[in-house]
Amino acid sequence: MHLLSTFLGATLLTLIGLPLFLVFASQGGGGIAAVALDSEVLQALSTSFAGAFLATLISLVMGGPLGYWLGQSDSRLRRWVGAFIRLPLVIPHPVAGMALLLLFSRGAFVGSALHDGLGVSIVNSFGGVILAMIFVSSPLLVLSVQDASASFDRRLIAVSENLGASPFFTQRHVVFPLLRGGLFTGASLCFARAISEFGAIAVLAYFPRTFPVLVWDRYSTAGLDAALPATAFLLLVTLILFAFLLRFSGAFKGGSGAQG
């Protein structure tokens, strides 16, 4: 049984790792360095990072309180809201983009009102990129905060309030330290998911191109060889970001635990 588990695990790791290794091997350091100087690549990378950062920030503001409520509430609505917030995780992302398009295109009620009343266009705009990112990635943040909220003892809040602490003091010095790890984990997952999104963005806001859209554009117009340099560069950036988040997450949780 141990040998079988080892074999199956090693097979899965090979299935994940070998294609990624081949992407790097096909380019080498020179190919990645060259694409790093491509202005089109850098523009797409900045669009992806800026969009993912803003999407994560907005998701924190809107989804953090929702996740806290889901973890603490005894309401019957909690189950339905929890199921509903998971829908973007199972809907095919091009379908998510089409659903957003039905709501925010200029011919739709909301899209028309935004364009005619405020001069704001969602389709093929940076705002559309952010909106698509929020749609597909915010559930990860909400669910992470929900898990963190459900895991701590509600009596700690009651004790703080019985000792005369104000609601603000209780939230700041009791609730937030307990949620901090969940907030950081959720924000990291949200950011990573947002920066890698393709399907919903390609339907709702193909322009300005994010990095995944740029890679797809080069692949669909010029073939695999044309797309591989940008693919390798994006993969390298993603791995560096992932390593940073893992390291920072360990320090963050360690600090949180020490405080608690």
10-68 pLDDT, tens digit each: 999 999 999 999 998 888 777 888 888 899 999 999 999 999 999 999 999 999 999 99
Torsion (CA) 46, 47, 51, 53 in degrees, nearest 10 = 0
Please report how many Cα atoms fall inside a 13 Å half-sphere around the Cα of residue 189, on the Cβ side: 17
Q: How far apart are CA 124 and CA 52, in angstroms?
A: 16
Q: Which of 28-42, 97-111, 152-166, 177-191 has the lowest mean pLDDT?
A: 152-166
pLDDT in tens, 218-240: 999 999 999 999 999 989 998 88
Q: Which pair of tokens denotes residue 220?
A: 């669909």
**Cβ(196)–Cβ(140) under 8 Å?**
no
- pTM value is 0.90
Torsion (CA) 51, 90, 188, 131 in degrees, nearest 10 = 20
Q: How far apart are CA 175 and CA 232, in angstroms?
A: 42
Q: Which domains does the chain have, with CATH numbers?
A: 40-259 (1.10.3720.10)
